[in-house]
Structures are given as C-alpha cells and as structure tokens.
Structure 1
Amino acid sequence: MFKLFNRIPSISTNQLEKELNNKTVLLDVRTGGEYRQGHISGAKNYPLNKIGQYKNKTNETIYVICQSGMRSKRAAKVLQKKDYQVINVRGGMNQWNGKVRGGKL
C-alpha cells in the first residue's frame, strides 16, 4: 500500500541504547570506511547507496543510523517504501555515547 507523506518515526541515541538487544536489527548506512572507524556492536553496515537492494524477511522493526541522522533518514524512507517498519536514529553516531567497536570515534 502506497502511503503519501508518511513520517519516519525517530528516536534518540539514548532511546536506541535502551532498545538494543540480541534481536535488534540495526543498519549503519555510512560508508564502509566510516563504519570501520567505529560502530555500535551488532550493527550491520549497509551503505546508503546500496539500501535499495536491502532484503530481509524480518517483520521486526529496523533501526537505521548514520553519522548525523540525514543519510539514515533517506535510507529509512527507501526501506519504508519497501514496507519495512523503520525507525531513524536522530543525531546518528555524532550523538552516540555508548560503546563502539572498531576504530576511535
């Protein structure tokens, strides 16, 4: 079903930290290089330029994060059009205060 002007739900990084668990689907839509510099444990790297190819049979909510929240919002719109339940993480990694894996952030 096509939804016009559908708002993308969003949460803060603090709210995301409370939501994270083993089953949370978290997509990091930054470039591979940015991802390797530091990412949230369990996040899957799926760069924005490839998000249109994303396929997952999950009916779970997908959380989307980038560096500042702009690319993730664009990615969330693409995923929402593909009928995924999506939540954008406002402020992205710039606002994340939790632990990271990989390089220094």
Structure 2
Amino acid sequence: MFGFFNKVASISVKELQEKINEPLTLLDVRTPNEYRSGHIKKAKNIPLNKVNSYKGNSNDLIYVICQSGMRSKKAAKVLQKNGFKVVNVRGGMSQWTGQIQGGK
C-alpha cells in the first residue's frame, strides 16, 4: 500500500473521527494562527513549510490535516518521500464536526 510512487492514501474526516480515540499521530499543517484558532486536541502543529524537517517515528502511521485537504496532501507527499507512512485527511478542518480546542 505504501510505495515510493504510490499516491498518498486518504481518509475522510468522518473516518478520522471514528479513529480519534485510538492512539494516533495527527499533524496539522496549517499556519500557527490557523491552528490556534481551533484544532483537534491530538493534533501537533507542523506548518507545511516546516514539514520537510519533521522528525517523527518512521514506523508510525501519520495522519495529516489542514483546512481543506490541499496543503495536507502536499505535506503527505513530502512526508511519504521522506519515508513516512502517511494518510491525508480529505476535507480538512472545514469539514471536521468533532471537538476542537483553541490555543497552543
């Protein structure tokens, strides 16, 4: 499923919502201001322009979210190229209906 030339796997916001109580790695690639205005509690803010320097566990499956799904798709491709197993969240925060929190 995860190959060098494969397209990035993706799930819907609804599918993420079903997994959110499991242990998972979720990166929010929006700007720090967007992140502070409301994010999923488990999400770690790594803005798109810094995603290339992300140093996570390469064995973990990483979910990537942004506002609409466009930046997260770009970020997912970068992460995948860097050897991470990645899933893009289609629809992003604009379709997220679960709980969010503000601040850092």
TM-score normalised by length of structure 1: 0.91
Amino acid at match of 1:38: G
Instruction: Give unpaired runs (5+ residues) of structure 2.
Output: none
Q: Distance in 2 between matches of 1:13 and 1:19?
A: 10
2:73 alignment partner, SS class: helix
1:12-48 alpha-carbon deviations (Å, 9 max, x no partner): 0010011113521000000000000000011000000
Identity of aligned residues (%): 58
How big is the alpha-carbon RMSD for the aligned residues of Structure 1 and Structure 2? 1.4
Runs of 4+ aligned residues of structure 1 deviating over 6 Å after TM superposition are none
* Alpha-carbon offset, residue 57 of structure 1: 2.2
Structure 1 residue aligned with 2:74: 74
Amino acid at match of 1:20: I
Aligned length: 101
Q: Which moved more, 1:79-88 or 1:15-24?
A: 15-24
Greater strand share, structure number: 2
Instruction: Give unpaired runs (5+ residues) of structure 1.
Output: none
TM-score normalised by length of structure 2: 0.91
* Alpha-carbon offset, residue 71 of structure 1: 0.1
Q: Distance in 1 between matches of 2:14 and 2:82?
A: 27
Amino acid at match of 1:59: N
> Cα 1:22–1:3, aligned 2, differ >3 Å: closer, same or farther?
closer
